[in-house]
Amino acid sequence: MFRSIPQPPLANCLETLERIVYKIGKEAGSWEPQEGYVATRRWNRVESEVSNFTKTASTYIKFFAAPRDSSPEPNTIFHLLHALTAHALQILALVPADTPPNARPFLDLANMILTNWNAWVGGLSEEVNTRGGMFAAGMVSTWADGLDTVSRAPSTNSTPSSSGSTLASWASPMSMSSRAATNPLVDGFREALAPIRERFFNELGWLIASR
Alpha helices in the chain (DSSP H): 10-28, 36-64, 74-92, 104-125, 137-151, 184-204, 206-209
Q: Averaged over 12-16, what is the pLDDT?
A: 96
76-131 pLDDT tens trace? 999 999 999 999 999 999 999 889 999 999 999 999 999 999 999 999 999 989 99
170-188 pLDDT tens trace? 675 444 433 345 789 999 9
Q: Averaged over 21-42, what is the pLDDT?
A: 94
Q: Averaged over 136-140, what is the pLDDT?
A: 90
CA 185 – CA 201 distance, rounded (Å): 25
3-class secondary structure, 44: helix
Please give the pLDDT value at position 126: 92
Reported pTM: 0.85
3-class secondary structure, 124: helix
Please give the pLDDT value at position 167: 61
CA 48 – CA 106 distance, rounded (Å): 11
One-letter amino acid for residue 15 of the chain: E
One-letter amino acid for residue 60 of the chain: Y
Max alpha carbon distance in the chain (Å)? Answer: 55
Q: Which residues of 32-48 are buried (b: 16+ CB within 10 A; e: fewer)?
A: ebbeeeebeebbebbbe
CA 113 – CA 119 distance, rounded (Å): 10
Please give the pLDDT value at position 159: 40
CA 58 – CA 60 distance, rounded (Å): 5
Query: Is the predicted pLDDT of residue 191 greater than 50, yes or no?
Result: yes
37-68 pLDDT tens trace? 999 999 999 999 999 999 999 999 988 876 65
Find all residues with CB under 8 Å of 39, minimum gap 6, and list them.
33, 94, 96, 97
The secondary structure of residue 173, as a DSSP letter, is G
Q: How far lies 18's CA from each of 22, 88, 91, 92, 121, in Å?
A: 6, 12, 12, 16, 25
The secondary structure of residue 128, as a DSSP letter, is I
